[in-house]
Amino acid sequence: MGDIELQEEEREVLLSIYEGDAAFKQLNSTTYQYKYGEDNDPRSFLLEIIWHETYPTNKPTISMETFYNKHILPKVKEKIIAHVEAEAEQWLGCAMTYTLFQSVQERLTELIEEQQASIADVSIQTAKLNLDDNNQKEESAKKQKKEQLTKSQKRRRWNKVDSKGEKPRGWDWVDIVKHLSQTGSKAEQET
């Protein structure tokens, strides 16, 4: 059997096994996702397996780069992906998607032990990681000098805008009566 026939057979088996399972999702004919944990649980994550033309002869692509996984720490993601990659090496040439999902399920507590148990812990960890980035941004902002204006320049700018900092409606309109009084009407110009 070729890779395409094996994929078709595995697709049918996966759909029959996971029929009615809300955690399993088939995005297209070659991309499958499985969600571990409950919604709003900071330890839940989504594992994505993408088949290529040469699957199952070659390993599928293992991904955790979905938006749902934004709260998962990078080292936890790496640990999960490394586990799934090692498991995939053992099953080359065989249908392995179900086996990969199940191996993660069996070792779930071990794989996510470093992940914080509450959202507060996750946000604290994220804040610590982003602290260095914020410090660098503040330093670059301090280096930029602010334009110095005189009082009259500030007053002129203030008079040109409303309370929201926008120019008032019609500020660039032409007063038609004033314009015609200066230029004259079309009938007067012809005579």
Rounded-to-integer distance, Cα 191 and Cα 186, Å: 9
CA-to-CA separations, 54 to 89, 92, 140, in angstroms, rounded: 14, 11, 49
Q: H or E stretch including 46? A: strand 45-50
Q: What is the pLDDT of residue 190?
A: 64
b/e code 60-73 from CB counts within 10 Å (16+ = b): bebbbeeeebebbb
Helices 3-17 and 97-106: crossing angle in degrees, nearest 10, is 50
Query: pLDDT value at position 125?
Result: 54
DSSP string for residues in 138-154: HHHHHHSPPPP--HHHH
d(Cα 121, Cα 101) in Å, to the nearest integer? 27
Residue 109: predicted pLDDT: 87
Contacts of 91 (CB under 8 A, 6+ apart): 56, 99, 100
Nearest to 80 by CA among 118, 56, 120, 49: 49
Reduced 3-state DSSP string for 150-174: CHHHHHHHHHHCCCCCCCCCCCCCC
- Write down the pLDDT at residue 84: 92
Give me the pLDDT at residue 187, please.
67
- What distance in Å separates the CA atoms of residue 10 and residue 112, rounded to the nearest whole number? 28
Q: Tell whether pTM > 0.85.
A: no
Low-confidence ranges of the chain (pLDDT < 50): 118-120, 122
Backbone CA torsion sign across 12, 17, 20, 21: negative
Amino acid at 15: L
